[in-house]
């Protein structure tokens, strides 16, 4: 697979100008204020399910917390058995098109001594449907979810999903055995974009952020240059509505751009990028990275990496990075 974008020498200085909507901050302040008001009417529910999965070294809880419109969002809470808490916790967001799956798929972080909250993606798995207020508004023209409600920021799908991700951060304080002061946000692809969004919206609540090959960044360029993956859904939509919806659609996407969230995020951050990534072209990743507001930021570059980035080599790099910031579990 060849390089899909600029070379590394150009990427390190790539800082495109992008116009932030004038009401970007107020849009999200009002969105989250309303969501939190509705969430207070619900409760965080925790049910132990370890025995169901026959695990001996990891304890598993099935968690439900109030998300968008107060509806329950599913998550797995995994903790190393016998560890003395409170534990640092990695709140993990998922890639596009996948739900939380089974807890047996998510054993890396508890094996390394961390707690992990694996957050389901509404409408993408089976445990958190995308329904209720807001979900039925707007259209979904192309396959997938990228165009659901895309006519306006108020109805766009990612308004609901990003709100869920922020409320997952809020829920950590109500879960057993966790240290909210050592909360790390992480995820790859869509999960990387959601990590940036939650880091930008949650401020000092976040101790560190680790967005891998992040999606949802630099939309205006990504939908033009990406050859594979979810950005193509938007390109298909605009192909058929190009005469009257391009400006409207791109203006709506500006409210969900990881570049704009990165400008508001201050937690220490470790990015990763694959220079041969056809799904999230490296320039879109660097657009967010080079605009990231936090002073403690670094990026792991995989020169021959595709959308899988560093694959199995990336988690050990993350462990080393977290240890260097005092976020490793106590021995």
Catalytic residue positions, numbered:
189, 277, 307
Q: For position 3, what pLDDT does the model report?
A: 77
Q: For position 132, what pLDDT does the model report?
A: 56
Total domains in the chain come to: 1
Q: For position 108, what pLDDT does the model report?
A: 97
Q: For position 322, what pLDDT does the model report?
A: 98
- The CATH number that applies at residue 242 is 3.40.50.1820
Task: For residues 261 and 187, give the distance between their C-alpha atoms in angstroms, rounded to a whole number.
Answer: 15
Note whether residue 330 is domain-resident.
no
Residues contacting residue 80 through CB under 8 Å, at least 6 positions apart: 57, 58, 59, 87, 110, 111, 113, 114, 115, 329
Note whether residue 80 is domain-resident.
yes
Note whether residue 103 is domain-resident.
yes
Q: Which domain holds residue 259?
A: 8-323
Q: What is the pTM for the complete model shown?
A: 0.96
Note whether residue 331 is domain-resident.
no
Task: For residues 315 and 125, give the distance between their C-alpha atoms in angstroms, rounded to a whole number.
Answer: 24
Q: For position 84, what pLDDT does the model report?
A: 86
Q: For position 134, what pLDDT does the model report?
A: 57
Note whether residue 162 is domain-resident.
yes
| DSSP 8-state class, residue 136 | T
Note whether residue 197 is domain-resident.
yes
Q: Which of 154, 329, 192 is nearest to 270 (CA)?
A: 192
Note whether residue 1 is domain-resident.
no
Note whether residue 230 is domain-resident.
yes
Question: Tens-digit pLDDT profile for the chain (331 aa)?
Answer: 677 788 898 999 999 988 899 999 999 999 999 999 999 888 999 999 999 999 999 999 999 999 999 999 999 999 999 998 799 999 999 999 989 999 999 999 999 999 999 999 999 988 999 975 556 555 555 568 999 999 999 999 999 999 999 999 999 999 999 999 999 999 999 999 999 999 999 999 999 999 999 999 999 999 999 989 999 999 999 988 766 789 999 999 999 999 999 999 999 999 999 999 999 999 999 999 999 999 999 999 999 999 999 999 999 999 999 999 999 998 7
């Amino acid at each position: 697979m060849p390089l899909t974008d600029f070379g590394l020498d150009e990427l390190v200085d790539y800082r495109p100008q992008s116009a932030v909507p004038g009401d970007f901050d107020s849009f999200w302040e009002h969105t989250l204020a309303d969501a939190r008001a509705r969430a207070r009417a619900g409760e965080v529910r925790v049910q132990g399910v370890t025995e169901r999965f026959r695990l001996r070294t990891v304890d598993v809880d099935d968690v439900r917390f109030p998300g968008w419109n107060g509806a329950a969002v599913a998550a797995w809470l995994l903790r190393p058995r016998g560890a003395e808490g409170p534990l640092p916790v990695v709140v993990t967001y998922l890639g596009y098109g996948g739900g939380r799956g089974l807890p047996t798929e998510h054993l890396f972080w508890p094996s390394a001594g961390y707690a992990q909250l694996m957050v389901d993606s509404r409408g993408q798995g089976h445990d958190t449907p995308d329904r209720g207020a807001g979900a039925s508004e707007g259209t979904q023209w192309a396959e997938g979810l990228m165009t659901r409600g895309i006519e306006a920021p108020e109805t766009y799908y990612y308004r609901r999903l990003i709100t869920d991700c922020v409320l997952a951060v809020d829920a950590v304080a109500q879960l057993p055995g966790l240290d909210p002061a050592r909360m790390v946000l992480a995820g790859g692809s869509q999960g990387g974009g959601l990590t940036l969004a939650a880091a930008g919206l949650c401020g000092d609540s976040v101790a560190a952020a680790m967005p891998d090959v992040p999606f949802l960044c630099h939309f205006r360029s990504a939908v033009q240059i990406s050859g594979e993956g979810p950005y193509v859904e938007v390109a298909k939509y605009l192909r058929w509505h190009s005469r009257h919806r391009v400006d409207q659609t791109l203006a709506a996407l500006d409210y969900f751009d990881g570049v704009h969230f990165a400008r508001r995020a201050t937690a220490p951050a470790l990015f990763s990028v694959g220079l041969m990534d056809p799904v999230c072209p490296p320039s879109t990743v660097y657009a967010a990275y080079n605009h990231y507001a936090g002073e403690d930021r670094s990026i792991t570059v995989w020169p021959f990496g595709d959308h899988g980035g560093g694959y199995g080599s990336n988690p050990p790099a993350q462990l080393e990075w977290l240890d260097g910031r005092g976020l490793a579990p106590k021995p």
